Amino acid sequence: MYPYAIGLDIGVTSVGWATLALDEDDRPYGIINMGSRIFDAAENPKNGDSLAAPRREKRSMRRRLRRHRHRNERIRGLLIEAGILTREELDSLFEGKLPDIYALRVKALDEAVTPQEFARILLHISQRRGFRSNRKNPTGKEDGALLGAVSANKALMAEKGYRTVGEMLLRDPAYAECKRNKGGSYIATVGRDMTEDEVRLIFAAQRKLGASFASEDIEERYLAILLSQRSFDAGPGEGSPYAGNQIERMIGGCTFEPGELRAAKATYSFEYFTLLQNVNHLRLVTGGESVPLTKEQRCLLVELAHKTKDPTFARIRRELAVPEGTTFNAVSYPRDASVEEAEKKAKLKGLAAYHEMKTAFNKLSKNHIDDLSREQRNEIGRVLSIFKTSDKIRPLLKAAGLTEEEIDAAETLSFSKFGHISVKACDKLIPFLEQGMNYNDACAAAGYDFKAHGGEKSRLLHPTEEDFEDVTSPVVRRAVSQTVKVLNAIIRERGGSPTYINIELAREMAKDFSERNKLKRDMDARGAENERIMERIRTEYGKAKPTGQDLVKYRLWCEQHEECAYSQKHISIEHLFDADYVEIDHIIPYSISFDDSYKNKVLVLAKENRDKGNRLPLEYLTGKRRDDFVVWVENNVRDYRKKQKLLKEKVTEDDEKRFKDRALQDTKHMSAFLMNYIADNLEFAPFVSGRKKHVTAVNGVVTGYMRKRWGIEKIRENGDLHHAVDAVVVGCTTDGMIREVSRYAEYRECEYMQTEEGSIAVSPATGEVLRRFPYPWPRFRAELEARLGADPARAVMEQGFPVYLNEDIKVRPLFVSRMPRRKVSGAAHLETIKSAKALGEGVVIVKKDLTALKLDKDGEIADYYNPASDRLLYEALKARLHRFGGDAAKAFAEPFRKPK
């Protein structure tokens, strides 16, 4: 077994993989194997809901019905135990013709009722007990609608003088036809307190009329059952393995402090810790050079954040007296917005819960939130994040030293969510963050391992639930679990550990369903627009086979109003696609920035590009030309990020380090998480060359550039092959390759003219090829194409690639595996299945909306099944249709009630 490396291209529904043979310098020199793993995204493909949502909803419904049934059983038991009815009387209570229950509820307010009538009233109210939110501060859309209906019904009762809910539902015209909510309408929703008031009035009236079954003891016992509701945070009862507070038991452990739980995000320590990180991250950008804030500026911002909730950067600009032309690295300046507009929207976050507490405590006669100690504020944030009922909240806050008045103020609040470290860790890090240190340095100063690496490593990965407790997205969890399966399978097949692993995560991995859909729509729209431009280039401008570079040239030409960016000279359409006359230039040279994005490109005359070399535009241009260029940029460039690059005055050492780090390293959270998980838990073969980093999360922008320069087209229509091809590219994108590309780019920028002939540097005088774009190994693309063929073994042998002389390599066709579905549980069929109902072969009964009904030529409702089953309903529907001339949409625009 010889050294090998693994490349992984990980997406939402796929994992492309490739194993590469390594030479004595740990550089890839051939493809061992490649393939794709395909799986469904762990979400509902229609709306992005969790696959567990239907099961969870059904389980919730079963629990709701079970609790409803249990409440009914307890009330029945109370009726028998209190001697109001015998079991036999209770069993026959609903037999025969019964009076309207709402009329009985109103009658009980003024007249004596029989025990049987009283029992019916109590049982009916228990099934219509009214709404009470499980949350202390209801904020959800549905809760808002329900509470709005409750308020409206309270106002209606007060306006019309109804004594009880039952009286309102019986006598008000709004409820003449319907006394229950239907189809998303909450008109009949009342509060639990309104129902309780009615029960107390009925019991009081019956006691006054001498009814022995309406005693105060029975009233309290009945109300205890009627009003009982398990708290949102409470789990099952005693004896269950899930008993206890459901929020508290799910809090994870601190990253740094063993035995400590993670801090609630509403605790003051965690909020202050977050604020200091945000302040220390903030930098002022002038002329493309960024500088950190001074100690005085940091203190001023911390003070401002305590005074104002989430201060805007427009306010920060005024407070810090930031000079004109200076911007903030923390603000995303959009393409079409001015600096002023962007800074009015952007905010410095960090103390949201502190300001909520401050507002609540400001209403008190004496106290202010700052009068409390940090420990007390931490306890308020912790308790209100975990517990949601007064009986739990008040004793804990009292134990923390709060007065009754302060507890009343705190109880108006409710918080959620937890951080990644504990309050203890926050308090240890805060002094170092106050000195202006970044998070990494503060962790080191506090004695914490920032990367939290270490522990036992094994030949294969064996993930546990704790390893992925921070990964909450089911989509990401499935992608990660499938990646682990692929890695383990590769290592088993190779019989030993890899030397290094390069991974690339799709950018949509961190996005939710709606964001991924938007991303796809934008890509589709951009693709359609690009195709229209290509067609225009072919038909209007006479270039039969336009390239991607031609497309970029045309778009830049239009954006720049047909002018060269550096000289402002006109570029005619006749010369636009002439490679010797017009070129695309990287604003910040690629050899420095590794930035091949559209925002780092301008269209210029070839001579200007050669003269500029590997300098910035403002380093190249001088005197009046420089002044004219600045004016041109200010007037013509709308994209703020592009404008920043064009007006950048110098590249600092800090910039160069940041560019190089970003070139190879993907810093997105999920990329870093997966990289660290693999590095922490997997054994690797040692490097021969002395390299140290075994796992790298490769930046997708760089691999895209490599793919393009190596002439590898990404054709998604070719099924699942492109995932494996991408994995080969990812595996070959190493630090050494980045250095070679940097040298090549610098060579082209400084010495010779550019050409599009296969990415080569050519002497303008002799046409001699001086330097080619670096490939991972000789004949790399030919080998990749051979491995993608139907018979790769024959193709590689015919072409004699050296890596396949090794007997250990068995060349096989590209392998595409799919995730099996082994579970047989779940729904047997969709709920929309239609039944034949024994009407004959090919005939089914289906439900249709009333607006879909039609009259046939005989004036009857077409295809109506069995009108005789309910002749009254059928005739009413037909009469409504005839009244509107058969137009069902108009006929049933207003509600239609089934006739009685």
Which residues are catalytically annotated? 9, 586
d(CA 149, CA 890) in angstroms, rounded, equals 29
Q: Is residue 42 within 8 Å of 48, Cβ to Cβ? A: no
Residue type, 122: L
HEC-encoded secondary structure of 526-571: HHHHHHHHHHHHHHCCCCCCCCHHHHHHHHHHHHCCCECCCCCCEC
Residue type, 627: D
Non-local (6+) Cβ contacts of 201 within 8 A are 109, 163, 164
* Residue 208 CB neighbour total at 10 angstroms: 10
d(CA 665, CA 43) in angstroms, rounded, equals 29
- ∠ CA 592-759-9, nearest 5°, is 70
Instruction: Give the DSSP letter string of 673-742.
Output: HHHHHHHHHB--PPPSS-----EEEB-HHHHHHHHHHTT----TTSTTHHHHHHHHHHHH--HHHHHHHH
The CA-atom distances, in angstroms, between 301 and each of 122, 277, 279, 320, 438 are 61, 12, 7, 8, 16
Q: Is residue 6 within 8 Å of 483, Cβ to Cβ? A: no
Q: Which two tokens stand for residue 559?
A: 């954006």
Phi, psi of 222 (to 5 degrees): -65, -45
d(CA 612, CA 309) in angstroms, rounded, equals 47
**176-187 burial string, b = 16+ CB within 10 Å, else e?**
eeebeeeeeebe
Non-local (6+) Cβ contacts of 119 within 8 A are 79, 84, 85, 90, 93
HEC-encoded secondary structure of 82-132: CCCCCHHHHHCCCCCCCCCHHHHHHHHHHCCCCHHHHHHHHHHHHHCCCEC
State the DSSP code for 193. Answer: H
Length, in residues, of the chain: 900
Find how far residue 600's CA is from the centre of its chain: 29
* Residue 749 CB neighbour total at 10 angstroms: 22
Q: Is residue 787 within 8 Å of 34, Cβ to Cβ? A: yes
Non-local (6+) Cβ contacts of 811 within 8 A are 787, 792, 793, 796, 804
d(CA 537, CA 601) in angstroms, rounded, equals 20
Q: Is residue 247 within 8 Å of 383, Cβ to Cβ? A: no
**What is the SS3 assignment for 323?**
coil
Residue type, 580: D
Strands 582-586 and 695-697: unpaired
For residue 883, give the nearest of 859, 858, 847, 848 by alpha carbon: 859
d(CA 741, CA 737) in angstroms, rounded, equals 6
- Residues facing residue 36 across a β-bridge: 16, 816
Phi, psi of 207 (to 5 degrees): -65, -40
